[in-house]
Amino acid sequence: MQPQTPTEPLPIATANVGMTVVDAAGAEAGVVSAVQMPGTEVRPDLAAGVAEELMGAGYLRVDGTGFLSNDTYAGGDQIRDTVEGDPGVVNLRVTRDQLYRAT
């Protein structure tokens, strides 16, 4: 993770519901349906261990795109940056197959 200063918020802090999520390969991974900041008490629908890790790092729930897709989760450390706009974009550091799939 990169050190953050008060003038450089964590990328997850600038993510909003409705933003398009794009993976490291440039493929659309879905749309942000929830944002949970680091230290949240809201547990994602994932296996024990992984869920607690994401609760500590913060996470996005991503409504998937494509045939037979389902929700995935991106950890706060998997977010590269966000781009403001309508609807805005969340760029990931990883490809969509590296996201955590909901159970």
Tell me the pLDDT tens digit for each residue of 9-46.
899 999 999 999 999 999 999 999 999 999 999 999 99
Where in the chain are the domains? 11-101
Dist. CA 35–CA 48, nearest whole Å: 20
5 pLDDT above the threshold of 70: no
Q: Check pLDDT > 70 for residue 93.
A: yes
Query: What's the mean pLDDT in 57-63?
Result: 97
> What per-residue confidence (pLDDT) applies to 98?
96
Euclidean distance between CA atoms 65 and 63, whole angstroms: 7
CATH topology of domain 11-101: SH3 type barrels. (2.30.30)
Per-residue pLDDT at 65 exceeds 90: no
Nearest-Å Rg of the Cα atoms of the chain is: 13
> With contact defined as beta carbons under 8 Å apart, do 40 and 52 qualify?
no
pLDDT of 4 over the 60 cut:
no
